[in-house]
C-alpha cells in the first residue's frame, strides 16, 4: 500500500488534485469495436450514483459543470422521449456532453462513446441511425457475463445493419409488450442502456421480432466499421491528407481517377473534389464502397495504408451512380391523379415513381393540387392534435381538482398511468391551463407550441369551461413562495390570469 510518511518538521504537504465530482466509471467495452454508446453510458452513470436518469441529465450534470467551471451542453430536452435520438441529432452536441463528462469523471475513455471523432474522416450525412437498434443476443451475452446489458456505439451507425459478432440483423428496439402496465412508471424505472424504454424489460426481452441472418455484404460492412471504431479516436487529421496523397499516386499508377470513380460508384467530380481538397470528406457509405471495389480495409485506409485484399464476390459497392432518364409525363400525371384520389403524400409518389420532387414539380397544376391537399391534411391533423392535447389536459385537470390534488404533471401521470413529459403538447396544455386559471406557481413552458395562436385559443376556451365548473381553484400567494391550493372554498372568486 502507500508509504506512510511520518510527521515532518514542516506542516506543508503535497496536496493532491481535486477529486472528480462523479465516479470514474469506465464505458463498457468487450472489445472488437463494441464500445458503449453515450446514452447507454449515461444510464450506467445514473445507476452507479443511484440518481434517476432525469435528475442526472437535468440537474446533476449542469450544476456540477457550473461548479467546476466546465463547459456544459444545453439541456437535453427530448431525453424523456428518445434518449438516443436526442444525442444523435447533433454529433457536436454529443461531443460537448462527452467532454463535460470527461471533466466530471476524469475518464478520457468517454470520448470514445460518441461518433464525433469519425467526423474528421467522414461526413455526418446519413451517418447515424435515428432509430435505436439492438442485437438481442449481444445483450443476453452481457447478462451472462453478469453485467448490465449496454447499447453499442456501433449500432447507432446507419451503415451497420447487422451484429459483427453474431451475424444477425439488428432489430429496431420497438417494445413488443403492448399491454404492459408498467408504462406508468416510466420516469421512476431503473434502466440500463440495454433495457427497454417502454416496458423496462432487461436486454429488450419484449422484442418479438424473429432473428434474421445477415448477408455477406452486411457482415463485411459491420466488421469493417467495427475495426475502424476501435481506432478512430486516436487518428490524426494529417492521416486524411496522407491518404489522399497515396490515393492520387494509386490512381496515377493505374487507370486514373475517372475509372476509380466508376468502379466505386462515385461521380468523378465528387471523387476529384475529395482527393484535391484537404478538408473534403466522403460519407461513410462511400468510403466502404471504395474499400469494397478496390479491396482496401477501412481501418487501414484511414491510416493511409492501401494494402489490397481479395474480398468475397458478394462484397461490391452498394451505391449506384445516379441514372438520368427521360421524364414520362403521362405516367407521372396518372400517378399524381391517383395520389390525389387516395390522399397520398408527394414524397410517397416520388419514391414510388423513382423520381425526385423537382421532377414532380414540372407536372405543374396536378403537383400543386396534391401539395395543397397534403398541406390541408397536415393542418387538420395538427388541429386535431392540438384539440386532443388540450382535451386531455382539461380532463385530467378536472379529475385532479375534483380529487383534491394539485394538477401537476406528476399527478397527471399517476392519474392517467401515462407519461406526462414537458416535451408533449398535452403537458404544455396542462401548464398553460393552470396559468390561465390564475396559478402563478407555474411558468410558461419553453416550447414552440405554447406560442401557437390556435393552441392558445383552445387553451382559453378550455379555461373558460373549467372556470365555470371549478370555483374552488384558488391561488394563494404567500411571501417569496407561491403555493397552489385546493381548499374547496366554494363561492370564492377565482383569481383570473
**Helix, strand or coil, per DSSP, at residue 491:** coil
- Over the range 391-420, which residues count as b (16 or more CB within 10 Å of their CB) and which as e? ebbbebbbebbeeeeebbbebbbebbebbb
Binding positions for other proteins, 98-117, rule CB under 8 A = 105-107
**Is 50 near other proteins (CB under 8 A)?**
yes
Cell numbers linked to 315: 462484397
130-163 core/surface letters (b: 16 or more CB in 10 A; e: else): eebbbbbbbbbbbeeeeebbbbbbbbbbbbbbbb
As a whole number of angstroms, the distance between CA 78 and CA 63 comes to 19
What is the smallest separation between the CB atom of 164 and other proteins, expressed in angstroms?
30
Three-class secondary structure assignment of 365-409: HHHHHHHHHHHHHHHHHHHHHHHHHHHHHHHHHHHHHHCCCCCCH
Sole window of 11-19, 249-257, 298-306, 438-446 interacting with other proteins (rule: CB under 8 A): 11-19
Q: Any idea of the CA torsion for 5, 7, 11, 12, to the nearest 10 degrees?
A: -10
Q: What is the DSSP letter of 147?
A: S
Q: Between residues 50 and 358, which has the closer beta carbon with respect to other proteins?
A: 50
Minimum gap (Å) between residue 368 Cβ and other proteins? 52
Smaller CB separation from other proteins, 2 or 325: 2
> Is there binding between residue 13 and other proteins (CB under 8 A)?
yes
Residues facing residue 484 across a β-bridge: 475
Residue 21, all three cell numbers:
465530482
The residue range among 14-22, 217-225, 363-371, 384-392 that interacts with other proteins, by the rule CB under 8 A, is 14-22
Host H or E run for residue 482: strand 481-485
Question: x/- contact string, 20-39, with other proteins (CB under 8 A)?
Answer: xxxxxx--------------
Position 272 contacts other proteins (CB under 8 A): no
By CB under 8 A, residue 48 contacts other proteins: yes
Q: Is residue 452 part of the contact set for other proteins (CB under 8 A)?
A: no
Q: Which residues contact 143 (CB under 8 A, 6 or more apart)?
A: 149, 202, 203
Q: Which is nearer to other proteins, 177 or 246 (CB)?
A: 177
Long-range CB pairs of 54-61 (<8 Å, 24+ gap) are 54/79, 54/80, 54/187, 60/22, 61/97, 61/100, 61/101, 61/104
Q: Is 69 in the site for other proteins (CB under 8 A)?
A: no
Residue 203 CB, shortest distance to other proteins, in Å, is: 13
CB of 108 to other proteins, least distance (A): 9
Nearer to other proteins, 26 or 451 (CB): 26
The residue (of 21 and 124) whose beta carbon lies closer to other proteins is 21
Written as nine digits, the cell of 184 is 406508468
Shortest distance (Å) from residue 155 CB to other proteins:
23
Residue 362, φ and ψ in degrees, nearest 5:
-70, -15
| Closer by beta carbon to other proteins, 378 or else 410 | 410
> Which range of residues in 56-64, 83-91, 270-278, 353-361 is near other proteins by CB under 8 A?
56-64
Q: Which is nearer to other proteins, 24 or 295 (CB)?
A: 24
- Pairing relationship of beta strands 133-134 and 171-172 according to DSSP bridges: antiparallel
Of the two residues 206 and 298, which places its CB atom closer to other proteins in the complex?
206
**Which residue among 137, 158, 189, 385 contacts other proteins (CB under 8 A)?**
189
Nearer to other proteins, 148 or 288 (CB): 148
x/- mask, other proteins, residues 148-187, rule CB under 8 A, reads: ----------------------------------x--x--
Give the number of C-alpha atoms closer than 13 A to the C-alpha of residue 290, restricted to the C-beta side.
29
For other proteins, the closer of residues 54 and 77 by Cβ is 54
Among 29, 30, 32, 52, binds other proteins (CB under 8 A): 52
- Of 27, 197, 200, 317, the one binding other proteins by CB under 8 A: 200
Q: Residue 107 CB, nearest distance to other proteins (Å)?
A: 7
Contact assessment for residue 118 and residue 93, using Cβ atoms and an 8 Å cutoff: no
Smallest gap from Cβ 22 to other proteins, in A, equals 7
Q: What burial class does residue 428 get, using C-beta atoms within 10 Å of its C-beta: 0-12 exposed, 13-18 middle, 19+ buried?
A: buried
Which stretches of the chain bind other proteins, using CB under 8 A? 1-17, 19-25, 48-52, 55, 59-60, 63-64, 105-107, 182, 185, 188-190, 199-201
Amino acid at each position: 500500500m502507500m508509504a506512510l510518511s511520518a510527521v515532518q518538521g514542516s506542516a506543508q504537504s503535497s496536496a493532491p488534485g481535486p477529486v472528480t465530482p462523479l465516479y470514474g466509471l469506465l464505458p463498457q467495452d468487450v472489445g472488437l469495436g463494441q464500445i458503449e454508446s453515450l446514452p447507454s453510458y449515461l444510464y450506467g452513470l445514473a445507476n452507479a450514483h443511484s440518481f434517476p436518469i432525469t435528475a442526472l441529465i437535468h440537474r446533476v450534470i449542469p450544476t456540477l459543470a457550473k461548479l467546476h467551471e466546465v463547459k456544459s451542453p444545453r439541456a437535453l430536452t427530448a431525453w424523456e422521449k428518445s434518449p438516443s435520438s436526442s444525442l444523435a441529432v447533433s454529433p457536436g452536441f454529443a461531443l460537448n456532453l462527452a467532454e463535460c463528462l470527461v471533466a466530471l469523471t476524469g475518464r478520457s475513455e468517454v470520448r470514445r462513446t460518441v461518433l464525433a471523432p469519425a467526423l474528421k474522416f467522414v461526413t455526418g450525412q446519413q451517418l447515424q441511425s435515428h432509430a435505436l437498434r439492438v442485437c438481442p443476443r449481444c445483450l443476453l451475452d452481457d447478462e451472462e457475463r453478469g453485467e448490465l446489458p449496454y447499447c453499442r456505439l456501433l449500432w447507432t451507425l446507419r451503415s451497420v445493419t447487422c451484429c459483427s459478432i453474431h451475424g444477425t440483423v439488428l432489430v429496431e428496439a420497438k417494445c413488443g409488450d403492448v399491454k404492459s402496465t408498467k408504462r406508468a412508471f416510466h420516469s421512476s424505472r431503473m434502466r440500463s442502456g440495454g433495457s427497454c424504454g417502454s416496458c423496462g424489460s432487461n436486454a429488450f426481452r419484449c422484442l418479438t421480432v424473429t432473428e434474421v441472418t445477415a448477408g455477406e455484404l452486411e457482415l463485411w460492412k459491420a466488421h469493417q466499421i467495427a475495426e475502424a471504431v476501435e481506432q478512430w479516436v486516436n487518428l490524426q487529421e494529417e492521416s486524411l491528407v496522407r491518404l489522399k496523397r497515396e490515393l492520387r499516386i494509386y490512381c496515377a499508377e493505374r487507370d486514373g481517377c475517372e475509372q476509380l470513380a466508376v468502379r466505386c460508384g462515385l461521380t468523378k467530380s465528387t471523387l476529384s473534389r475529395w482527393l484535391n481538397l484537404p478538408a473534403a470528406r466522403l460519407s461513410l457509405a462511400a468510403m466502404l464502397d471504395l474499400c469494397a471495389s478496390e479491396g482496401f480495409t477501412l481501418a487501414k485506409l484511414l491510416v493511409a495504408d492501401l494494402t489490397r485484399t481479395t474480398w468475397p464476390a458478394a462484397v461490391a459497392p452498394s451505391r449506384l451512380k445516379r441514372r438520368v432518364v427521360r421524364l414520362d409525363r403521362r405516367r407521372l400525371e396518372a400517378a399524381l391523379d391517383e395520389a390525389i384520389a387516395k390522399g397520398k403524400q408527394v414524397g410517397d409518389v416520388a419514391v414510388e415513381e423513382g423520381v425526385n420532387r423537382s421532377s414532380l414539380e414540372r407536372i405543374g397544376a396536378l403537383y400543386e393540387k396534391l401539395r395543397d391537399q397534403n398541406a390541408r391534411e397536415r393542418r387538420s391533423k395538427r388541429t386535431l392534435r392540438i384539440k386532443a392535447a388540450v382535451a386531455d389536459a382539461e380532463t385530467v385537470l378536472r379529475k385532479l381538482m375534483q380529487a383534491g390534488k394539485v394538477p401537476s404533471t406528476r399527478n397527471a401521470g399517476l392519474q392517467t398511468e401515462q407519461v406526462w413529459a414537458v416535451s408533449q403538447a398535452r403537458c404544455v396544455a396542462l401548464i398553460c391551463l393552470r396559468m390561465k386559471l390564475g396559478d402563478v406557481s407555474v411558468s410558461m413552458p419553453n416550447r414552440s407550441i405554447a406560442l401557437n395562436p390556435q393552441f392558445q385559443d383552445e387553451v382559453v376556451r378550455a379555461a373558460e369551461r373549467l372556470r365555470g365548473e371549478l370555483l374552488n381553484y384558488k391561488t394563494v400567494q404567500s411571501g417569496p413562495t407561491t403555493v397552489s391550493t385546493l381548499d374547496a372554498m366554494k363561492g370564492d372568486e377565482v383569481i383570473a390570469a
